[in-house]
Amino acid sequence: MPRTCCVVGCQTGYKSNDEKVSTFSFPKNEEMQNKWIKAIPRKDFIVSKNAAICAKHFTADQIITKWTSGVGEQKVVINLKIPKLQKNAIPCLFPGPKYLSNPQKKRKSPTKRVSLGSNCRNSKSIKLTEVILNYYIKYFYLYNIFYIGTHG
Ligand SMILES: [Zn+2]
């Protein structure tokens, strides 16, 4: 069973997604594990046994896909069935506007929706002020005519 990627918004490993992307377990080394936790845009993430991050969040040079041995003519290169990560690799790629690496951006999205809503309300209130203004202008002209008419 494929593991799902723990990065918010990433579809790797989900049933709805046929795309085959390698997943990597969290490092067992506590220091590295903390670095990973800090790197991924998730708040208070707790690493579970099956927690994994997919290859999409690592740069190409962080992922080892080939095993090489020997030099020159004796060099042997074998494609790894299961890619490995470089020892110090830390996930760094979190594409997409909804789940950018900065968690603050995540908090911005609901306010965006709110501001969109208030924009609608603004346009309504603009229309309303236009109506009031038009009414006022008409009234003002009428009043002027009336004033001039009685006092002119
Ligand atoms: Zn992923």
Cα(5) to centroid(ligand 1), Å = 5
Tell me which of 138 and 82 has the higher pLDDT: 82
User: Do the beta carbons of residue 38 and residue 65 sit within 8 Å?
Assistant: no
Judged against a pLDDT cut of 60, whether residue 119 lies above it is answered with: no
Calculate how far, in angstroms, residue 94's C-alpha sits from the geometric centre of ligand 1.
Answer: 8
Distance 126 CA to ligand 1 centre (A): 44
Lowest mean pLDDT among 23-27, 42-46, 115-119, 129-133: 115-119
Give the pLDDT score at 132. Answer: 78
Distance 77 CA to ligand 1 centre (A): 28
In the numeric block, the tokens 């993430």 are attached to 45
pLDDT at 41 over 80: yes
> In 3-state terms, what secondary structure has residue 81?
strand
Segment among 77-91, 112-126, 131-145 with least mean pLDDT: 112-126
In total, the chain counts a number of residues equal to 152
What is the pLDDT of the chain when averaged over all its residues? 81
In the chain, the percentage of residues whose pLDDT exceeds 70 is 72
Bridge-based pairing state of the strands 63-69 and 76-85:
antiparallel
pLDDT tops 80 at residue 142: no
Residue 140's identity, in one-letter code, is F
> What is the Å distance from ligand 1's center to 90 Cα?
13
Distance 9 CA to ligand 1 centre (A): 8
Task: Return the pLDDT at 106.
Answer: 45
* Residue predicted with more confidence, 125 or 67: 67
